[in-house]
Structure 1
Amino acid sequence: MRRLLALLLVAVLGLTACGGDPLSGGGSESDPNVIAMGSGNFTESQLVAEIYSQALQGAGVQVEEPVAIGSREAYFPALQDGSVDLIPDYSGALLQYLDESAQQRRSAEVYAALQKVLPPELVAGAMSPAQDKDAVMVTRETADRLRLRSLDDLTPHCKDIVFGGSPEFQTRPDGIPALRENYDCAFKSYRSLDAGGVLTVTALVDGDVQAADLFTTDPAVAQNGLVVLEDPKENFAAQNIVPVMVKRKATPQVTGVLDRVSAKLTTEELLAVNTEAAGPDKPALRTVAADWLARNGLAGNAP
C-alpha cells in the first residue's frame, strides 16, 4: 500500500528526471517474490501492462496490480529505484531518453543500442513486432488544401501552423527540436495538450491546431480520417514494444512468459486491442487483456 500511494503521488506531482524523487530508496521494501507493475498514463501502455500482468499471474507469478504512473520522465526513475519492477516501453523513445545522441532508427539497430545503454540494474526482454510510432498528422482537409504527403511537404507551411502535442514532445530529442533540425520546420506556436490523447485529437479535428503528434496505432486516426505524414528522413525511430524490468526480478520464468507475449504482439494486434478498448461499450482494460490472451493461447500460461 505504501508503494501504491507513493506511485500515485508521482502521477499527481508529474515527477521528472531532473526533479526531486520522493520514491528514492523504495526498492528496499520490494518483496523479492512479487512483480510490481507500472505503466505510462495512456490506454495502450496500461493495456500492455495488464496483458503482462495477467500472463504472469497465469504462469503462477505473484503480481501487484498495474499502476499508471505518468510519462517516461516519471515512470523510468520509479523503475530505476525499484518502486516498480516491470514496465512496457517503446524501444526508440527509451533509447533516445537514455542517449539523446542516438542515431539508430531501425528496429534491430535500436534494440541492440538500447541494451547497451540501459542502466546495469535493468534488463530488456525480447522486443515485440508491434510498433506504435509517433507521427505528425493533419486532417484530410489540411492535407488536401496544402498538398501534404510528407514532412518535407510541410516545411514551407510550418511558420503558419500551430502544432499540438504532449508537454514532453516540445523538448524530446525526436520532438520539436528534431523536426526543426531534420525538416527545417519552425512552427508558429506550440500548444501543450496530452500524449496522443483525446485533447490532442480534438484540437486537431476542431482546427485549434493544424498539425499534431499522435500515435500510429490510435483508433482515432482512422475514425477521424487523419493523415499520417510520411517521414522520409526517419525523424522517428522504430518503436517496438519491449518489457523493461529490474534485473533481480528477471527470472527465467518471468522472462519466458514475457517473451511469449512479445512474440504474439504484432502491430495489427495492438491496433485491435486499442480499438476494442475505445469501443462504444468501453470495456474494462482487464477484460480486453484477458480476451487477447485467450485468443492467442496465452491464458493460464503456466510452463
Structure 2
Amino acid sequence: MAPNGNGRIRILAACLTAIPVVALTAACGVDTSSRTGGSVGSGPVVVGAADTIESELVARLYAGALGANGTATELVLGLGDQADRLAALDGNRVSLVPEHTGRLLHRFDSAAEVTEEEDVYDALSRSLPEGLSVSEYAPADDRSALVLTEEQADVLGASSVADLAPRCSTLTLYASEDFAADAGALDRLQSLYGCTFAEVVPAGSPAAGTRELAAGASPVHGTTAADSVVAQDELVVLTDEEGAFTAQNVVPLFRSGVLTADDIRSLSVILQLSTADLTAMAARVRDGELSSADAAAAWLEEHV
C-alpha cells in the first residue's frame, strides 16, 4: 500500500504545553492519562503506545503534533508488544501507533531481505495489509547494533563490525530481545563479514544487557541503537558498513482513512526526530528528571 502523504511542512502553532490528566486533547496539549477499550469513530484520533518509555514518548509527539494542528486526540498507553498494537488497530480501539519500519516489514513480509532505510520503507509500504497505512519515517533509528565497552574495543582494536569479524568465533554474543527481532541479522553477519559467534546467549531487555556489558560481564552485546544505556555508559557501538542490520526508523502506522491530509502533514514535524533526541529524552524520563509528557512538549516547542 502506498504511504498516505509526505512532505516536510513545518507546523506553526502556539500552544504545545501538555494538559495533565484529561480524557481528550483538542487544539493543543498532550494527554497524560491512559485508558482501555472503546472504539474509534468520528471522534478524536486515538494514539496508542507500547509499554516502553520510547514508544510513549513518540506517541506523545504524534498526539502533540496532531493537537497543534487543531485535531482532537486521545492517548492509550501500555498496549504491549507489536501483536497487541496491531490487534488494537484491527479492533478499532486505536487509530495510530508508533512503529519501526524493519520490525513492521518483517511482520508482514518475513522473507524481506532489504536493510537500507529507503528500501525497507518501500518494501514496508508494499507489504501493508488493506486498511493500514504509514506516512514518512523519522531519522530516529533503532536498528540492531553490536556494542563493546571502551576497554574491550581497545583490546580488540575494534570500531566496526569488520574489525571484530576475525575474532567472532572466539566470542560470545549476548543478544537482547530487540536485537534478536532483526530477522536474518546473524546470517547477514556471517555472509557479509564472515562473523559467526561461538555462542549466542539471550540477554533479556536491552537495558539489562548493556548494564551487564558495562560491568564487564559479557564480551559483546547485541542491542539496538536507541538503547539509552549505550549513550549513558559511553559504550562503543560498532559501525556496520555492509548493512547487516535492518533499518528500524520510527514511523506512524495508522488505520487508513482516519487521518486527513492536514493531519498527515502535521506529523511531518516528527521527521526532525533523531536517534540522539529520542535516547536523550528517554534517559531523562527513565532517570526521573521529567515526565514523558513534559519531555514531548519540550521537544515539540523547540521543533515546531
Interval of TM-score (by shorter of Structure 1 and Structure 2): 0.7 to 0.9
Q: In the TM superposition, what is the alpha-carbon distance from 1:281 to its structure 2 partner? A: 4.5
Structure 1 position 44 matched with structure 2 position 54: yes
Letter in 1 for 2:142: D
Partners of 1:233 and 1:77 in 2: how far apart? 35
| Range moving further from structure 2, 223-232 or 144-153 | 144-153
Report what 1:77 is aligned to: 87
| Range moving further from structure 2, 151-160 or 31-40 | 151-160
* Aligned counterpart for 1:234 among listed residues 243, 250, 253: 243
Q: What secondary structure, in the 3-state scheme, does the structure 2 residue paired with 1:148 have?
A: coil
Q: Deviations over 1:50-75 (max 9, x none)?
A: 11112223333232223132332432
Partners of 1:167 and 1:76 in 2: how far apart? 19
Structure 1 position 270 matched with structure 2 position 278: yes
* Aligned counterpart for 2:158 among listed residues 148, 171, 178: 148
Report what 2:297 is aligned to: 290
Report what 1:170 is aligned to: 180
Q: In the TM superposition, what is the alpha-carbon distance from 1:118 to its structure 2 partner? A: 0.8
Contact 1:38/1:84 (<8 A) preserved: yes
Could you say if the C-alpha distance between residues 234 and 70 of structure 1 is closer, same or farther in structure 2, counting changes exceeding 3 Å?
same
Could you say if the C-alpha distance between residues 168 and 34 of structure 1 is closer, same or farther in structure 2, counting changes exceeding 3 Å?
same
Q: In the TM superposition, what is the alpha-carbon distance from 1:106 to its structure 2 partner? A: 2.3
Structure 1 position 222 matched with structure 2 position 235: no
Partners of 1:296 and 1:132 in 2: how far apart? 21
Q: Which structure 2 segments of 5+ residues have no match?
A: 1-22, 24-33
Contact 2:179/2:223 (<8 A) preserved: no
Q: What secondary structure, in the 3-state scheme, does the structure 2 residue paired with 1:92 have?
A: helix
Contact 2:179/2:224 (<8 A) preserved: no
| Range moving further from structure 2, 285-294 or 134-143 | 134-143
Q: In the TM superposition, what is the alpha-carbon distance from 1:172 to its structure 2 partner? A: 4.0
Q: In the TM superposition, what is the alpha-carbon distance from 1:178 to its structure 2 partner? A: 4.3
Report what 1:243 is aligned to: 252
Contact 1:162/1:191 (<8 A) preserved: no
Q: In the TM superposition, what is the alpha-carbon distance from 1:224 to its structure 2 partner? A: 1.4
Structure 1 position 116 matched with structure 2 position 126: yes
Identity over aligned residues, as a percent? 28
Contact 1:158/1:188 (<8 A) preserved: no
Structure 1 position 190 matched with structure 2 position 201: yes
Q: TM-score, normalised by structure 2?
A: 0.77
Q: How does 1:18-167 map to 2 (within 5 A)?
A: 29-167=39-177
* Aligned counterpart for 2:267 among listed residues 258, 262, 265: 258
Q: Deviations over 1:222-263 (max 9, x none)?
A: 32121111213211122322111011312223212212x233
Partners of 1:164 and 1:67 in 2: how far apart? 30
Report what 2:16 is aligned to: none
Partners of 2:137 and 2:177 in 1: how far apart? 27
Structure 1 position 202 matched with structure 2 position 211: yes
Could you say if the C-alpha distance between residues 282 and 176 of structure 1 is closer, same or farther in structure 2, counting changes exceeding 3 Å?
farther
Q: In the TM superposition, what is the alpha-carbon distance from 1:171 to its structure 2 partner? A: 5.7
Figure out how many residues of one structure are paired with residues of the other and give that number.
271
Could you say if the C-alpha distance between residues 241 and 125 of structure 1 is closer, same or farther in structure 2, counting changes exceeding 3 Å?
same
Could you say if the C-alpha distance between residues 236 and 170 of structure 1 is closer, same or farther in structure 2, counting changes exceeding 3 Å?
closer
Contact 2:142/2:224 (<8 A) preserved: yes
Q: Which structure 1 segments of 5+ residues have no match?
A: 7-25, 298-303
Contact 1:170/1:177 (<8 A) preserved: no
Aligned-residue RMSD, C-alpha: 2.7
| Range moving further from structure 2, 70-79 or 139-148 | 70-79
Partners of 2:115 and 2:103 in 1: how far apart? 10
Contact 1:104/1:110 (<8 A) preserved: yes
